[in-house]
Amino acid sequence: MKSFRITMSVIYGVLLLLTIPALIKLTSSPQEPVSSVRNNKNLIVTEQRVFDDADILSDSEEKALEKKAKELAKKRSLDIVLVTVNDENVNSPVDYTRNFYYTHDFGYEDSKGTGVLYMIDMYNRVPVASTFGKANQSMGNARDSILEASHDDLASGDYYDAFDVMLDETDKTLNPASALGKILIVLPVSLVGAGIILLMLLFKPNVNTDVNANTYLDADQYDLVEEKDNYINTIRTSRTISAGGSTGSSGRSGGGGSSSFGSSVGRKF
């Protein structure tokens, strides 16, 4: 009883401490806007976030998306870049997005930092979503569904609407409160987990740990009469501990630090 109480008090104390930053995050307002942060670093960066290289958006559409992307970027603390491309030289749309992001030094908190890049590849007729830095973790699982949500608009040629949907979905994904919904999955898991711990407490095996092979041994009368240790053979195995990584449709890679990257390619439209 006593040990259970103490253990529980410690666990609940730790949980309480861990909950404080979560509550702060759920209630806090977004961090400093992109531009002010970036300007402090004296980086030569462009303010432009919409790059209509395939020329499928009207000027007013570009302007509207530019405004919406910047507002959302400020609200959700990540850089947001929208790209269209129509180039037969784009063999790998995924690599293209990564190079695009890194050569432009995008990133919310730092150059090549946190952000998301959505691209409509008109030549390959696929949408691409690439996440960088912390966005790779916070949005990584949502990339596929975001692209899927925009599929109908892409198929019907409403590219502005497609980007608009992507931005709205990004907003939803990064809403701190939306993560609360995931708790519903935790519920059945913790019921089962608590049940297992309870059963272990209820049916603790009654093993007499106070008696062992030495309890009744007369130490003066013990003797190791003979010992032989014959070496037979050695088997050596090796495995490569690689630092490289994949840049497939999903997955994390990069040279460490915050420059992690992941990408998803949507269905053909």
Partner 1 sequence: MVLIYKCPTCGGVMTYNAQKQLLECSHCQTSMAADEYDISDLRAEENKTEEFNITSYRCPSCGAELITDDYTAATTCSYCGSPTIINDRLSEENAPDLIIPFKFNKAATLEKLKHWCRNGLFTPSDFLSQNSLKKLSGIYVPFWLYDFDTHCSMNAKCSKVRTYIQGDKEYTETSYYEVYRETVASYEKIPADASEKMEDNIMDALEPFYYLDLEDFDMAYFSGYSAEKYNFTAEDMIARVVPRAKGYAESITRNTMRDYDSINVTSADTDAKMTKATYAFLPVWRYAYRYKGIDYIFSMNGQTGKIIGKPPKSASKIFIVFLFLFLAVFWGGSLLALYLSWGGVF
Contact 161, 269 (CB under 8 A): no
Radius of gyration, alpha carbons of the chain: 28
Helix (H, G, I), strand (E, B) or coil at 140: helix
Minimum CB separation of residue 83 from partner 1 in Å reads: 23
Is the CB of 132 or the CB of 163 nearer to partner 1?
A: 132
Task: Read off φ and ψ for residue 57, nearest 5 degrees.
Answer: -115, 145
Minimum CB separation of residue 242 from partner 1 in Å reads: 7
Residue 13 CA to residue 35 CA, distance in Å, equals 40
Minimum CB separation of residue 160 from partner 1 in Å reads: 29
Is the CB of 23 or the CB of 44 nearer to partner 1?
A: 23
Is the CB of 44 or the CB of 225 nearer to partner 1?
A: 225
Minimum CB separation of residue 140 from partner 1 in Å reads: 8
Minimum CB separation of residue 76 from partner 1 in Å reads: 11
Is the CB of 44 or the CB of 207 nearer to partner 1?
A: 207
Is the CB of 47 or the CB of 226 nearer to partner 1?
A: 226
Contact 51, 83 (CB under 8 A): yes
Minimum CB separation of residue 69 from partner 1 in Å reads: 20
Minimum CB separation of residue 94 from partner 1 in Å reads: 20
Give how far Cα 184 sits from Cα of 23, 178, 179, 249, Å. 18, 11, 10, 28
Is the CB of 46 or the CB of 215 nearer to partner 1?
A: 215
Residue 127 CA to residue 151 CA, distance in Å, equals 8
Residue 100 CA to residue 97 CA, distance in Å, equals 5
Give how far Cα 30 sits from Cα of 9, 64, 109, Å. 34, 22, 13
Q: 147: closest CA among 93, 191, 109?
A: 93
Residue 117 CA to residue 136 CA, distance in Å, equals 11
Residue 79 CA to residue 67 CA, distance in Å, equals 13
Is the CB of 76 or the CB of 153 nearer to partner 1?
A: 76
